[in-house]
Amino acid sequence: MSRTVADTEEVIRTAGLTKIFPGGVQAVDHLDLSLRNGEIFGLLGPNGAGKTTTVGMLTSMVIPTEGNAVVGGVDVTVHPALAKQAIGVVPQTNTLDRSLTVAENLYFHGRFFGMSARDAKAEAHRLLEKFWLADRASAEVLALSGGMAQRLMVARAVMHRPAILFLDEPTAGLDPQSRIALWEILKELHGEGQTILLTTHYMEEADQLCDRVAIMDHGRILALDTPGALKRGVGADTIVTVSAEGGLDELARLLEARVPGATRATRVDSTVQLGVSGSQGVLPAVISAAEQGGFTVTDLSLAEPTLETVFINLTGKELRD
């Protein structure tokens, strides 16, 4: 991707951003984040990692306990109303206005953001075409399928041409087809230069869509880089998942020591995940190492490292728990 001067400009910068909810739950813990203009940035982490709270603070809905966030050049905590001009939000739940039709949802959103009646109407029309919703313009929003409702929420969020578009778990609960359709839309918006921050607990989504991914757990960023660099950082080109009977922690130590090219073995639930560089002859090596140690291997599979592997290496647990 060619970078112009504007591409290196920061659209979001947070410093020590922290949220402790009443009752003492620390949802976000001293977050330092910087988003460049035009990138798709992913916050990847399991439920409860603090992703939604982070988006809440960046969009003025959650008041930080500490630290600050500058979005589109405006300090969100100090000037929330001004900052809201620069942001578009697709929340986790369907928040479409049920009293209005599909087209009216876009029209009034445009009016809230100062568009003239004429511009709002024209832009609503254009977006409905673009998001394959034109034939539903005068439908009630309750009549939309999950995928359509989600597309309409994205259309609404970009209606006022925000500097940054936030999507909180945009494809959670969507069927695979709608998910792919939404990915296409996000790629198209990205191609037009839209800066996007999305949260997800689907590693494929972060991998496929994002220029950079921050892996988050317990309110902290554990790693931040391009998906490719994160995966390379694992240090293995193959991940062997081993199911076996017996003490798996012992098996993990054994495999790490005896399998040629082994980088790291981690026990994950009832399996051992072994990173290996150079997959030539790895399966026989794993089986013989296990058998020599007195283990019976019941299942074995090979895969390339994914962001899930990165997450497991960082936390010792799976993303989807």
Partner 1 sequence: MATATSTTTTEDATGALTTARRSTVTASGTAFRALLLRDFTVLRKTLNEFLPRTILQPFLLVFVFTYVFPKIGQGVGGGGGPAAQSAFATLLVAGVVGITILFQGIQSVALPMVQEFGYTKEIEDRVLAPLPVSLVALAKVTSGAIQGLIAALLVFPIAAVVPANDVHLSFNWPVVLTLVPLACVASSALGLTFGTRFEPRTVPMMFGVIIIPITFLGCVYYSWTALGPIKVWGFSWLKWLVLVNPLVYMSEGFRGAFTTANHMSLAVVYLALAGFAALFLYLGINGFKKRVLS
Binding status of residue 76 toward partner 1 by CB under 8 A: no
CB 121 within 8 A of CB 115: no
Q: Tell me the closest approach of the beta carbon of residue 38 to partner 1, in angstroms.
A: 7
Q: 290 vs 247, 254, 266, 267, CA distance in Å?
A: 11, 7, 15, 14
User: For partner 1, which stretch binds (CB under 8 A), given 99-107, 196-204, 250-258, 268-276?
Assistant: 99-107
Q: Which is nearer to partner 1, 164 or 289 (CB)?
A: 164
User: For partner 1, which stretch binds (CB under 8 A), given 79-87, 247-255, 259-267, 296-304?
Assistant: 79-87
Amino acid at 23: G
Using N-to-C axis directions, what is the helix angle for 146-158 and 176-191, rounded to 10°? 20
Binding status of residue 178 toward partner 1 by CB under 8 A: no
Could you count the other beta carbons within 10 Å of the beta carbon of residue 169?
22
Q: Which two tokens stand for residue 299?
A: 């299942």
Binding status of residue 67 toward partner 1 by CB under 8 A: no
Binding status of residue 69 toward partner 1 by CB under 8 A: no
Of residues 194, 199, 263, 271, which one binds partner 1 by CB under 8 A?
Answer: 194
Of residues 42, 50, 67, 72, which one binds partner 1 by CB under 8 A?
Answer: 72
Ramachandran angles phi, psi of 264, nearest 5°? -165, 140
Binding status of residue 192 toward partner 1 by CB under 8 A: yes
Can you tell me the distance from the alpha carbon of 62 to that of 53, in angstroms, rounded to the nearest whole number? 7
CA angle (30, 95, 146) in 5-degree steps? 105
Amino acid at 315: T
Binding status of residue 268 toward partner 1 by CB under 8 A: no
User: For partner 1, which stretch binds (CB under 8 A), given 101-109, 168-176, 245-253, 254-262?
Assistant: 101-109
Q: Tell me the closest approach of the beta carbon of residue 193 to partner 1, in angstroms.
A: 6
Q: Tell me the closest approach of the beta carbon of residue 46 to partner 1, in angstroms.
A: 21
Could you count the other beta carbons within 10 Å of the beta carbon of residue 191?
9
CB 156 within 8 A of CB 120: no
Q: Which is nearer to partner 1, 164 or 259 (CB)?
A: 164
Can you tell me the distance from the alpha carbon of 59 to that of 289, in angstroms, rounded to the nearest whole number? 53
Q: Which is nearer to partner 1, 189 or 215 (CB)?
A: 189
Of residues 25, 112, 245, 304, which one binds partner 1 by CB under 8 A?
Answer: 112
End-to-end CA distance of the chain: 35
Site string for partner 1, 6-45 (x = CB under 8 A): x--x-x---------x---------------xx-------
User: Are β-strands 66-71 and 74-75 bridged in parallel, bridged antiparallel, or unpaired?
Assistant: antiparallel
Of residues 51, 84, 212, 231, which one binds partner 1 by CB under 8 A?
Answer: 84
Greatest Cα pair distance in the chain:
77
Of residues 80, 247, 261, 293, which one binds partner 1 by CB under 8 A?
Answer: 80
Q: Tell me the closest approach of the beta carbon of residue 180 to partner 1, in angstroms.
A: 24
Q: Which two tokens stand for residue 80?
A: 């929330």
Binding status of residue 252 toward partner 1 by CB under 8 A: no
Q: Give me the residue label for tokens 């945009």.
A: 170
Q: 235 vs 212, 229, 232, 262, 278, CA distance in Å?
A: 19, 10, 6, 10, 11
Which positions touch partner 1 (CB under 8 A)?
6, 9, 11, 21, 37-38, 56, 59-63, 72-74, 79-82, 84-87, 89, 91, 93-100, 104, 108-109, 111-114, 156, 160-164, 192-195
